[in-house]
Structure 1
Amino acid sequence: MLSQAEQSILSNKVVLVTGALGGIGSEVALAYARHGATIILLDKNIAQLEKLYDVILQETGIEPAIFPVDFKGANADDYQQLAQTIKNTFGQLDGLVHCAADVGQLAPIANQDIRQWTETLQVNLTATYLLTHACLNLLQSTEQQSFIIFTTDSQHDKAYRGAYGLSKAALECFCHQLSLEMEAAGKVRVNCIDPGQVKTKLHARVYPAADPQHLPEPTAVIPAYLYLASDQSGHLHGQCLNAQMELPVKVLA
């Protein structure tokens, strides 16, 4: 059982989670709601978002919000409008968690389909930048310190990873650059999480030969996401945390 203090670590916070229907994204949204946050669910399947909405509301009593967005087709204006809607609706944004990802085509560089390459970079990198850029003013205007969490894959430089691997490497660089730029003001903590190998549909596509029976469930890495969202991690900035190897001694579950 969670203590009352642990249950309310994200109380009164508004957090936007991308890839909210993914194996990790959906668990992040649920865990944050269980700890008191109002969650903004961002993904492209409206029907599935509504199901997750119902689960969160029924389990926590906290009404989430749904924003259906297709990262492949959305442009800068769409993300600016999204940020303005969040501001008008909630008046604040305390956290942004990037869980959305597209594996794209896992093939040799010479055999990459150019259209698919471009779309994968659009989803994993460009859309992440555009959404972060659109939300920065909101994140910087919170009364307490806000946070941004990127999700990476430390195996990004392996053969045949294509645009997926390249985008994950670029996200780590983006996280580092942004953390340096945010450091002086001290208003936004920026960190990155490598979940490691977890039993998800995305993992099955990246590692088709791996036996999923021996992999941990997505819930196994949620303590890392909770920790980086909580005040306990206020000293961490510009870090890339391995969720299965580098957890602090006391984490929230």
Structure 2
Amino acid sequence: MHNFRASDRCLEGKTILVTGAGDGIGRQAALSYAQYGATVILLGKTVQKLEYVYDEIVALNKMQPAIIPLDLRGATKQNYIDMASTIEQQFGKLDGVLHNAGLFVALSPLAHIAEKDWLDIMQVNVNAPFIMTQALLPVLKKAENASIIFTSSGVGRKGRAFWGAYSTSKFAVEGLMQTIADEFENTSIRCNCINPGATRTMMRAKAYPSENVENLKTPEDIMSPYLYLMSDESVNTTGQSIDAQPKN
């Protein structure tokens, strides 16, 4: 899948929701999905960033995207139920969700993590994608083949010092993905995780401010698995945790 050669129309007719679509990997995934024919729903907390991505997609002369401004820290279950209802009314179905939005505060010893930071990270990285997915399931079931992708991390497979809350949240995401994949095995819904690896994003810069970004892959460089898992080529792939940058 890392050498997946997407055909020009491999996502044609699909409607895909991308969270955290305002910048970084979410922005690039939204642009890539649109480039290959999908109608993209852009979800994020900063309207201006979403509008910039909206304009970029429109400039591609592709399907007109939609915008959902929502801060996952304060979103309620009703917000997600209303969102699912709107998506169903406007598009009839949902073919894919990329749970890309995430919160990282700072590297910190466990003893010094503020309770508010811990709770905010769990809310954005775990609770929000769970409640959102639960609300979206009826709309996902209306698609012929639906794909759910969660964003994981290397520290979501092996805990690492000073990554406390973020690491714990990604372990939870891996478990949530596996549970969904197992429950919906042999159905039209598949579920997988992608670990982006070291990528040139603002979150990465926050964790490693002195790192030379020229040594990092860009979001565009790692798009192959994101495209593969949203395309019908991956209909039999579920329950997998995939490295976007596999070690040689």
Answer yes or no: same fold by TM over 0.5.
yes
The 5-angstrom pairing of residues 164-203 of structure 1 reads: 164-184=166-186, 186-203=187-204
Instruction: Note if contact 2:35-2:62 (Cα within 8 Å) is conserved in structure 1.
Output: no
Whole-Å separation in 1 of the counterparts to 2:237 and 2:48: 37
Match in the other structure for 2:27: 26
Match in the other structure for 2:149: 149
Match in the other structure for 1:84: 85
Match in the other structure for 1:251: none
The sequence identity of aligned pairs, in percent, is 39
Whole-Å separation in 1 of the counterparts to 2:122 and 2:62: 37
Aligned amino acid, residue 50 of structure 1 = E
TM-score w.r.t. the length of structure 2 is 0.94
Aligned amino acid, residue 192 of structure 2 = N
Instruction: Note if contact 2:106-2:207 (Cα within 8 Å) is conserved in structure 1.
Output: no
Whole-Å separation in 2 of the counterparts to 1:17 and 1:98: 6
State the Cα distance separating 1:246 from its structure 2 match.
Answer: 7.8
Deviations 1:33-60 (A, max 9, x none): 0000000000011112111111101113
Instruction: Note if contact 1:105-1:163 (Cα within 8 Å) is conserved in structure 2.
Output: no
Deviations 1:116-170 (A, max 9, x none): 111111011100101111101111121x111001111012411111211111111
Partner secondary structure for residue 60 of structure 2 = helix
Cα 1:70–1:138, aligned 2, differ >3 Å: closer, same or farther? same
Instruction: Note if contact 1:182-1:189 (Cα within 8 Å) is conserved in structure 2.
Output: yes
| Unaligned ranges ≥5, structure 1 | 248-253
TM-score w.r.t. the length of structure 1 is 0.92
Match in the other structure for 1:160: 162
Whole-Å separation in 1 of the counterparts to 2:247 and 2:31: 23
Partner secondary structure for residue 192 of structure 1 = strand
Match in the other structure for 2:3: none
Partner secondary structure for residue 168 of structure 1 = helix
Aligned amino acid, residue 53 of structure 2 = L
Match in the other structure for 1:136: 137
Aligned amino acid, residue 170 of structure 2 = K
Whole-Å separation in 2 of the counterparts to 1:124 and 1:22: 17
Instruction: Note if contact 1:17-1:42 (Cα within 8 Å) is conserved in structure 2.
Output: yes
Match in the other structure for 2:116: 115
Cα 1:246–1:232, aligned 2, differ >3 Å: closer, same or farther? farther
State the Cα distance separating 1:235 from its structure 2 match.
Answer: 2.0
State the Cα distance separating 1:212 from its structure 2 match.
Answer: 1.5
Whole-Å separation in 2 of the counterparts to 1:21 and 1:149: 17
Whole-Å separation in 2 of the counterparts to 1:225 and 1:246: 18
Aligned amino acid, residue 148 of structure 2 = I
Whole-Å separation in 1 of the counterparts to 2:146 and 2:235: 10
Match in the other structure for 1:250: none
Match in the other structure for 1:14: 15
Whole-Å separation in 1 of the counterparts to 2:211 and 2:62: 39
| Unaligned ranges ≥5, structure 2 | 1-5
Shift >4 Å, 4+ stretches: none
Deviations 1:191-235 (A, max 9, x none): 110111011111112233432221111111111100111111122
Over the residues paired in the alignment, what is the CA RMSD in angstroms? 1.5
Instruction: Note if contact 1:152-1:195 (Cα within 8 Å) is conserved in structure 2.
Output: yes
State the Cα distance separating 1:188 from its structure 2 match.
Answer: 0.4
Instruction: Note if contact 1:105-1:162 (Cα within 8 Å) is conserved in structure 2.
Output: no
